[in-house]
Amino acid sequence: MARVVAVNVATPEYVGWASAEHTSIGKRTVSGSVEVTALGLSGDEVADVKHHGGTEQAVYAFAREDLDSWAGELGVPLPDGAFGENLTTEGIDVNAAIVGERWRIGTVVLEISTVRIPCRTFADHLGSRLGADSAGWVKRFTQAAAPGPYFRVLEPGELAAGDPIEVLHRPTHGVSVATMFAALTTERHLLPELLAVSDLNPVARERVETFLAGS
């Protein structure tokens, strides 16, 4: 059964290893029901508001199965929340999910809006906090093309670890999380395919329009 195995939040903290100095990537797992609003989970605050957060990146999910795979490659344990995800999932392929797909978790309805793009802070977090060999991490994560999705919140409410994930709606356009990530990173020729997504994330739409204007 597809379910949430952990709910993770953080507040900004000063760290000497991050280029941005303050980061909220160091999530901690919380128990009990957590309120979710249009801007994300209660108790979760964004440090870098220029590149993260907002209604289009309100909630981030990453699969426990993918964490386990990376743990084997990185040679260190990866606890729930290790990649800065709000929701650690199990039993659902988050990267094969379709952009615009809607999930009900608890009383919350989420819609996949965009994808996570790796940054230097992510690499520093793995190396400095978790003790992983993070050399070339941004490139390695990008090549794997399994970033996990960001969600917008369609219906606020509450959710908790253990809640099942119910897929309410799956669009037929076929643009998956993995496809969007590839288009935005290594396979720019795929960018026009993103126009099939209704209510396309504004940042992604701008990238498509820029690409088409130059082609």
Instruction: Say if 25 falls within a structural domain.
Output: yes
Residue 128: pLDDT band with limits 50, 70, 90: confident
Residues spanned by the domain of 75: 3-172
Instruction: Say if 64 falls within a structural domain.
Output: yes
Instruction: Say if 127 falls within a structural domain.
Output: yes
Quote the DSSP letter at residue 199: T
Q: What is the CATH number of the domain that holds 117?
A: 2.40.33.20
Give the predicted TM-score (pTM) of the model: 0.93
Instruction: Say if 209 falls within a structural domain.
Output: no
Instruction: Say if 208 falls within a structural domain.
Output: no
pLDDT at 19: 61
Residue 95: pLDDT band with limits 50, 70, 90: very high
Would residue 106 be called left, alpha or beta, if left means φ above 0 and alpha means ψ between -120 and 50 degrees? left
Instruction: Say if 137 falls within a structural domain.
Output: yes
Instruction: Say if 180 falls within a structural domain.
Output: no
Tell me the three state secondary structure of residue 156.
Answer: coil
Residue 65: pLDDT band with limits 50, 70, 90: very high
pLDDT at 129: 80
pLDDT at 120: 83
**With 90 as the cut, is the pLDDT of residue 115 above it?**
yes
Rounded-to-integer distance, Cα 25 and Cα 174, Å: 30
Average pLDDT over every residue of 11-32: 78
Instruction: Say if 195 falls within a structural domain.
Output: no
Signed CA dihedral, 110, 89, 202, 36: sign only = positive
Q: Is residue 179 within 8 Å of residue 193, measured between CB atoms? A: yes
Rounded-to-integer distance, Cα 26 and Cα 28, Å: 7
Rounded-to-integer distance, Cα 150 and Cα 58, Å: 7
pLDDT tens-digit readout, 139-196:
999 999 999 999 999 999 999 999 999 999 999 999 999 999 999 999 999 999 999 9
Average pLDDT over every residue of 85-95: 98
pLDDT at 93: 98
Identify which of 26, 29, 53 has the alpha carbon closest to the alpha carbon of residue 152: 53
Number of compact structural domains in the chain: 1
**With 80 as the cut, is the pLDDT of residue 13 above it?**
no
